[in-house]
């Protein structure tokens, strides 16, 4: 398990306190490409989110076509879209009515607060907001109280079939080094030059051994080397090199939105 897909609840009026939402509007079908670009930018800045291409996301699939859901976007001064939220209002209004927020993604502070305020405007008809999220969502950081009730948690599992998958990642452009490790008895060397990684089989061993679970958690950046060692997902090697591994793989927040 590398993460959890969460459903949380909190008072909708907490979002309304974010301020004005004059730059928010309902999305049009012509916004689809820009909305996808917002997601892509956000996903590249996290550990875990999937790219929305391939068999699970066929050409022509569009979040604007989700039955029953609406999409709100934030327009920026330069004409670009800075964030979006996918939501659904209840058909029956009352003290137990729920505003479902299926996805909330934004590039910057202004877009986060504008989206929050737009969604908070439904507090009179849907006092409870329900958000589908993961990890430490930025939405929680802008709420004025500690009310954040977990209503569902779905474990997200990851199995890595290629022990040399670490070479497909991108790294900080100013980083160049070589790290070796083994998985299931196969020695591997990860070489990073100016941010580009290449992983090949190696003859020499550093003694650093990852289990398959340890490799998945390393790839996802979900646990530090110290935590992996505490459960024997990682053993051997130079403990002093753990800081290098953590700097490479644990530098971003872990989030998920889709299953595959």
Summarised one tens digit per residue, pLDDT across range 42-64 is: 999 999 998 888 777 776 677 88
Predicted TM-score (pTM) above 0.75 = yes
**7 neighbors 114 (Cβ within 8 angstroms):** no
pLDDT digits (tens, 9 = 90+) for 79-132: 999 999 999 998 888 899 999 999 999 999 999 999 999 999 999 999 999 999
pLDDT attached to residue 93: 85
pLDDT digits (tens, 9 = 90+) for 237-257: 999 999 999 999 998 999 999
pLDDT attached to residue 193: 93
**Residue 19 pLDDT exceeds 90:** no
- Which of 116-133 are b and which e, b meaning 16 or more Cβ less than 10 Å from the residue's Cβ? bbbbbebbeebbbbbbbb
- Residue that wins the pLDDT comparison between 162 and 55: 162
**8 neighbors 130 (Cβ within 8 angstroms):** yes
Greatest Cα-to-Cα distance within the chain, rounded to the nearest angstrom: 67
- Please tell me the distance from the alpha carbon of residue 83 to that of residue 239, in angstroms, as a whole number: 42
Q: ∠ CA 219-224-228 to the nearest 5 degrees?
A: 85
**Residue 25 pLDDT exceeds 90:** yes
pLDDT attached to residue 106: 97
pLDDT attached to residue 172: 87
pLDDT digits (tens, 9 = 90+) for 180-216: 999 999 999 999 999 899 999 998 778 899 999 999 9
**85 neighbors 42 (Cβ within 8 angstroms):** no
- Please tell me the distance from the alpha carbon of residue 251 to that of residue 45, in angstroms, as a whole number: 10
pLDDT attached to residue 30: 94
| Mean per-residue pLDDT of the chain | 93
């Amino acid at each position: 398990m590398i993460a959890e897909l969460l459903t949380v609840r909190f008072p909708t009026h907490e979002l309304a306190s974010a301020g004005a939402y004059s730059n928010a509007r309902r999305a049009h079908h012509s916004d689809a490409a820009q909305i996808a670009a917002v997601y892509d930018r956000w996903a590249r800045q996290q550990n875990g989110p999937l790219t929305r291409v391939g068999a699970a996301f066929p050409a022509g699939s569009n979040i604007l076509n989700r039955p029953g859901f609406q999409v709100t976007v934030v327009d920026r001064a330069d004409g670009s879209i800075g964030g979006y939220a996918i939501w659904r209002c209840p058909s029956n209004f009352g003290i137990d009515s729920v505003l479902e927020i299926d996805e909330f993604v934004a590039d910057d502070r202004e877009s986060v607060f504008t989206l929050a305020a737009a969604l908070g405007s439904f507090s009179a008809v849907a006092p409870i907001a329900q958000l589908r999220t993961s990890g430490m969502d930025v939405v929680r950081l802008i709420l004025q109280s500690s009310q954040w009730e977990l209503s569902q948690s779905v474990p997200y599992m990851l199995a890595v079939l290629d022990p040399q998958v670490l070479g497909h990642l991108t790294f900080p452009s100013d980083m160049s080094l070589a790290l070796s490790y083994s998985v299931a008895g196969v020695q591997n060397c990860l070489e990073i030059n100016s941010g580009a990684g290449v992983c090949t089989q190696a003859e020499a061993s550093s003694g650093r051994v990852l289990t398959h679970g340890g490799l998945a958690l390393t790839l996802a950046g979900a646990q530090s080397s110290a935590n992996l060692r505490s459960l024997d997902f990682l053993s051997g090697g130079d403990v002093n090199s753990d800081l290098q591994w953590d700097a490479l793989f644990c530098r971003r927040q872990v989030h998920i939105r889709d299953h595959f």
